Chains A and B, each alone.
Chain A
Amino acid sequence: MDTMLSTEQFLTLSHWLSPAYPVGGFAWSHGLESAIHDGIVAAPDALCDWLDDLLAHGAGRTDAILIHAAHTARGAELADLAALATALQPTRERRAESLAQGDAFAAITRALRGLDLPDGLPYPVALGHAAGLEGLPPEPVAQLYLQAVVTNLVQAAQRLMPLGQTAAHRIVAGLATQCATVAAAAATLGPDDIGSAGLAIDIASMRHETLEPRLFRS
């Protein structure tokens, strides 16, 4: 599939995944707050490894596949994909994180582009579906989505552990290749290929439910 974007498409995609797009990503830490609290992520190297695991073995890999599948799914197939995407989340907070951002994305994108984007879609499904309606190729959407996930979590980490700007952005830049690799692999995969090994990441999300005090909703 042609992954080149026209100028307009490039700017649309960049807007949709800008930290300023009102999706509310800054409120969620995917359990990272708990992992830092428990000492699992105690230094920049561990943070980089944890995020690498999220991309290659956790929600990153799953979401990239969902974006691609949502790109062409319509009607009942889209509803089934949304149900699958939600059911794949093993924790209450991750379901909330995914659905809240999905609804926020759908609301602003409907208002701006007049797209037929229903509520109740998990974020990667809403994003992939919108990209399909707009004719944006899915692979760059997945690439930028993954980098936005990484950036959001690195910024969350900066509020939770000693992590200066240079070190933080060294992590983001260092994971760019993995974002591209995961997005490329997803282009050849479908929902039946979804599989994750992010066990400690899942447990951190579960343990986050009882973390007090907390800055993040997940």
Chain B
Amino acid sequence: MPPRAEGELRLSARLSGGRSRIDDLRQAGSLRALFPRPHGAALDAVFLNTAGGLTGGDRMRIEARAEAGARIVISSQAAERGYRAEAGEGARIEVGLAVEAGGRIDWLPQETILFDGAAIARRMSVTLAPGAVALLAEAVILGRTAMGEEVGVLRFRDRWEVRRDGRLQFVEALDMTGDAAALMGRPGIGGGARALATVVFAAPGAEGQLDELRSLLPVTAGVSAVAEDLVVLRMLAGDGFEMRRGLVPVLEHLAGGPLPKVWRL
């Protein structure tokens, strides 16, 4: 059995001279961060998993903090791949995002592609100070339709906890365990889709984005403001390509500009 991969990335950014700059950076194991030249005042960070995918036993941890007034836009070098895991040992991903007053984090990794037999448990904890902003987006693709891949049994769990000023505001608890193709074929689950995405936009006045977001959505998606400052969006699509077509305009609208360049490679 191959040795399990472990990776840790810690990043914090502060506002200095009108730009967001790295305040602290730690990289360990198979996680690396790249910092392309920014085209705005935000700090652009691209992480990559040098292990080339996730399999049973892998442990990845990313922690990012935007200090007061600073903005970090975080993306991934490539789509993550979840490969078959041995029974009983899944891969674990932990993400912690902390945003101080007036700060902002855009968590925009590229898709996660799950292959037959993948087992992944992801946890994301987001803590927001008053006035802080977070844009969170995760898309999951079940196999690659163009390659004729079918995904059978999966163990996929994803849990997000978003706290504003110490108060628990939103919890995402996704559990897709079992015959993924069968589940996604069901009318209450995927309705035949092979790609799913969840977007959360937490910002003062987020509710005001609803009309514009609705105008961008296909019928296989929906959006709701669960609070004046928290909007939840869910999208289903036939495949990864269709998902991008639906998701990119939404993310660009909420990010206020083009997505990180890595998305277009």
Residues of A in contact with B (beta carbons under 8 Å apart): 35, 38, 40-41, 46, 49-54, 57-58, 62, 80, 83-84, 87-93, 95, 194-207, 209-210
Chain B residues with CB under 8 A of A194: 173
Name the residue in A53, A57, A84, A206 with the highest tally of chain B Cβ atoms < 10 Å from its Cβ. Answer: A206
Chain A residues with CB under 8 A of B196: 199
B231 to chain A, nearest CB (A): 10
- Name the interface residues of B148-185: CB closer than 8 Å to any CB of A: 157, 159, 161-162, 167-177, 183
Contact of B187 among A49, A95, A202 (CB under 8 A): A49
Q: Are A88 and B214 in contact (CB-based, < 8 A)?
A: no
Q: Are A202 and B168 in contact (CB-based, < 8 A)?
A: no
Q: Are A93 and B169 in contact (CB-based, < 8 A)?
A: no
Task: For the A-B complex with A90-B226, A197-B174 known, give 9 more contacts whose Cβ atoms are closer than 8 Å.
Answer: A41-B187, A49-B187, A49-B188, A52-B188, A84-B171, A87-B169, A88-B171, A197-B189, A202-B234
- Name the interface residues of B208-250: CB closer than 8 Å to any CB of A: 214, 219-226, 232-236
Contact of B226 among A62, A84, A92, A195 (CB under 8 A): A92
Shortest Cβ distance from B236 into A: residue:
A199
Known: A50-B187, A54-B188. A87 touches B222 (CB 8 A): no
Instruction: List 4 A-B pairs, minimum CB-CB distance, nearest first.
Output: A195-B175, A206-B222, A53-B188, A203-B222
Contact of B222 among A50, A51, A196, A205 (CB under 8 A): A205
Chain B residues with CB under 8 A of A35: 187
A53 to chain B, nearest CB (A): 3
Q: Are A195 and B222 in contact (CB-based, < 8 A)?
A: no
Residues of B in contact with A (beta carbons under 8 Å apart): 157, 159, 161-162, 167-177, 183, 186-191, 193, 196, 214, 219-226, 232-236
Q: Are B173 and A203 in contact (CB-based, < 8 A)?
A: no
Chain A residues with CB under 8 A of B219: 38, 207
B179 to chain A, nearest CB (A): 12
Known: A83-B168, A87-B168, A210-B214. A53 touches B226 (CB 8 A): no
A185 to chain B, nearest CB (A): 12
When chains A and B are docked, how far (Å) is the Cα of A40 from the Cα of B167?
Answer: 36
Chain B residues with CB under 8 A of A198: 188-189
Shortest Cβ distance from B214 into A: residue:
A210
When chains A and B are docked, how far (Å) is the Cα of A92 from the Cα of B233?
Answer: 12
Chain A residues with CB under 8 A of B170: 87, 90
A203 to chain B, nearest CB (A): 4
When chains A and B are docked, how far (Å) is the Cα of A79 from the Cα of B223?
Answer: 27
Chain A residues with CB under 8 A of B159: 195
When chains A and B are docked, how far (Å) is the Cα of A206 from the Cα of B161?
Answer: 20
A4 to chain B, nearest CB (A): 31
Chain A residues with CB under 8 A of B220: 203
Main SS at interface, chain B: strand
Q: Are B173 and A50 in contact (CB-based, < 8 A)?
A: no
Chain B residues with CB under 8 A of A89: 226
When chains A and B are docked, how far (Å) is the Cα of A53 from the Cα of B188?
Answer: 5
B133 to chain A, nearest CB (A): 19
Q: Are B224 and A92 in contact (CB-based, < 8 A)?
A: yes
Chain B residues with CB under 8 A of A204: 222
Shortest Cβ distance from A201 into B: residue:
B188
Known: A90-B172, A206-B234. A199 touches B224 (CB 8 A): no
Known: A90-B234, A203-B221, A206-B222. A195 touches B188 (CB 8 A): no
Chain B residues with CB under 8 A of A206: 222-224, 232-234
Q: Are B190 and A199 in contact (CB-based, < 8 A)?
A: yes
Known: A58-B188, A200-B188, A203-B236. A195 touches B174 (CB 8 A): yes
When chains A and B are docked, how far (Å) is the Cα of A67 from the Cα of B106?
Answer: 36
When chains A and B are docked, how far (Å) is the Cα of A209 from the Cα of B130?
Answer: 28
Known: A197-B183, A199-B189, A202-B234. A92 touches B174 (CB 8 A): no
When chains A and B are docked, how far (Å) is the Cα of A50 from the Cα of B187?
Answer: 6
Chain B residues with CB under 8 A of A201: 188-189
Chain A residues with CB under 8 A of B171: 84, 87-88
B111 to chain A, nearest CB (A): 16
List 12 contacting pairs A-B, 8 Å CB cutoff, sorted by A: A50-B188, A58-B188, A83-B167, A90-B234, A91-B222, A91-B232, A92-B225, A195-B177, A197-B176, A203-B221, A206-B222, A209-B224
Shortest Cβ distance from B219 into A: residue:
A38
When chains A and B are docked, how far (Å) is the Cα of A194 from the Cα of B168?
Answer: 16
Q: Are A195 and B186 in contact (CB-based, < 8 A)?
A: no
Q: Are B187 and A46 in contact (CB-based, < 8 A)?
A: yes
